[in-house]
Amino acid sequence: CDPRFAGYPEGHYDRPPGFDASSWVDQHPVCNEMDRRLDDIYDDEQPMRASTNAAKLFVRELIDPLHDQIGYVTYSTGAQIESELQCLRRLGSGNCNAQVLEDTVVAALDATRAGGSTDIAGGMIKGLEVLSTDENHYGRASATHVMILMTDGRANQTPNTDCYSDDNRKWVSPDGTQGNNAQHCVIYYAHEARDQNVIVYTISLGGAADFELMDEVAALTGGVHRNADRPEMLPAIFQELYELMYLRLVE
């Protein structure tokens, strides 16, 4: 139950081995108050609402539809492309405007709901597809390709068997602990992103995310990792990431 992101009284995230839920609650006495546990904001949707609201602000205030493109992918037990890149290459500059982004990316953000498992690697696969210049996708070869990867949990799904079978692309934590297959797959697709010149910026939400893994994904691809341990931190993080993207364009 993490009050910084409104908490999970029943433990929505994937607990690491040996995790003691009672000690986590004891660290945050507000979680022991039953009236607060039953409050509407103490549910799985709260981190999702905070992140999608910040993402909508990012789209509306920072994305220029005459110069920038943006798409959207969701992942839980699996991963889905909710919106291909919008909208310069798909529609042409004469037809691309803020309303198109509202009708596609923002509408998809509004429809997003929490639930399921945590297939981070699957989300990365779909993100790379969205950014690609292949048929039926709308990436531009001359553009800087950036993925913003957000998670409030720990990887626990593998999209295929290949991604954890490559001994040269496996996750080993800073203390030398070997990762699990789901973590190996995240690292595998971080290498794929790097090979495709995609920069990955990672945002971890709350206290249950895999900070070390997100650090490594960002480091491998030339990005940065930021943790938002409170929802109100997200707009400033998105602003910072946008400024970092802009600096890469002008350097």
Q: Tell me the per-residue pLDDT of 187-246, one tens digit each, with 9 for 90 and over.
A: 999 999 999 999 999 999 988 899 999 999 999 999 999 999 888 899 999 999 999 987
Closest CA to 241 of 209, 206, 202: 202
| 47 in Cβ contact with 5 (< 8 Å) | yes
What CATH architecture applies to the domain 48-250? 3-Layer(aba) Sandwich (3.40)
CA separation for the pair 38, 41 (Å, rounded):
8
CA separation for the pair 13, 21 (Å, rounded):
11
How far from chain centre, in Å, is Cα 15? Answer: 19
Neighbour-count burial of 213, counting CB atoms closer than 10 A to its CB (0-12 exposed, 13-18 middle, 19+ buried): buried
Q: Which pLDDT score, from 0 to 100, does residue 30 have?
A: 39
Q: Which pLDDT score, from 0 to 100, does residue 245 have?
A: 87
Mean pLDDT (the chain, rounded):
84
Closest CA to 148 of 86, 193, 99, 187: 193
pLDDT in tens, 63-112: 999 999 999 999 999 999 999 999 999 999 999 999 999 999 999 999 99
Domain positions in the chain? 3-37, 48-250
Is the model's pLDDT at 41 over the cut of 80? Answer: no
Cα atoms in the Cβ-side hemisphere of radius 13 Å centred on 86: 25
Q: Which pLDDT score, from 0 to 100, does residue 230 have?
A: 87
Is the model's pLDDT at 46 over the cut of 70? Answer: no
Is the model's pLDDT at 15 over the cut of 50? Answer: no
Bond prior to 87 in cis (omega within 30° of 0) = yes
Is the model's pLDDT at 121 over the cut of 90? Answer: yes
Closest CA to 100 of 53, 55, 63: 63
pLDDT in tens, 21-39: 444 333 333 333 433 333 3
- Catalogue the long-range contacts made by 12-16 (C-beta closer than 8 Å, 24 or more residues apart): 12/44, 12/114, 12/153, 13/118, 13/152, 13/153, 13/154, 13/208, 13/209, 14/117, 14/118, 14/153, 14/154, 14/156, 14/208, 16/154
pTM for the whole thing? 0.81
